[in-house]
Amino acid sequence: MRIALASDHAAVDMRLAVAEHLVAQGHVVEDLGADPGQRVDYPDYAAAVAGAVIAGGCDRGILLCGSGIGMSIAANKFAGIRAALVHDATTARLCKEHNDANVLCLGARTTGPLIALDCVDAWLAASFDTRHQHRLDLITKIED
């Protein structure tokens, strides 16, 4: 799977750990930054990952910031993006099964590194349950 990955300055270390974890599993990672030591604005990085997913260059995206909240708000401004802020493997699995989340958001200041990797694994292993398609269709109508 090809995964777009980005963070702001608060989550660089966690992003690098997630990237290493994904590559070790055989995924292709499109690391869109930010560079270590660089203070940045998270909406720019949310836009980059959303764009990569919408354009089809990446299958899914992962965004990280201090809390994950800002990234999830910014990413969800893009039609076709369903970004979910998760805090454990259960919410990560459910966001894919129930909401077909195509962008996972994590907070480096709120989620420990091992839990974050568990979230990534649960989200990647989960599949969308089509019983929930009607609700996604309603979301799409809102976007239109």
Domain ranges of the chain: 2-143
Q: What is the pLDDT of residue 104?
A: 99
d(CA 99, CA 79): 14
Q: What is the pLDDT of residue 144?
A: 86
2-143 has CATH 3.40.470.10 classification = no
Sign (positive or negative) of CA dihedral 141, 61, 46, 85: positive
The CA R_g of the chain, rounded to the nearest whole Å, is 14
| Residue 23 confidence (pLDDT) above 90 | yes
80: left (phi over 0), alpha (psi -120 to 50) or beta: left
The β-bridge relationship of strands 83-85 and 60-65 is unpaired
Residue type, 50: A
Q: What is the pLDDT of residue 47?
A: 98
CA atoms within 13 A on the CB side of 70: 19
Q: What is the pLDDT of residue 140?
A: 93
Residue 76 neighbours by CB under 8 Å, 6+ apart: 82, 83
Q: What is the pLDDT of residue 5?
A: 98
Average pLDDT estimate for 29-51: 96
**Rounded to two decimals, what is the model's pTM?**
0.97
Instruction: Find the catalytic residue in 21, 27, 87, 98.
Output: 98
Is 105 marked active-site?
no
Q: What is the pLDDT of residue 29?
A: 98
Is 95 marked active-site?
no
| Residue 130 confidence (pLDDT) above 90 | yes
Average of per-residue pLDDT values in the chain: 97
Instruction: Find the catalytic residue in 65, 95, 105, 119.
Output: 65
Confirm if 46 and 63 have CB atoms less than 8 A apart. yes
How does pLDDT run across 44-95, given as a tens digit for each residue?
999 999 999 999 999 999 999 999 999 999 999 999 999 999 999 999 999 9
Average pLDDT estimate for 123-134: 97
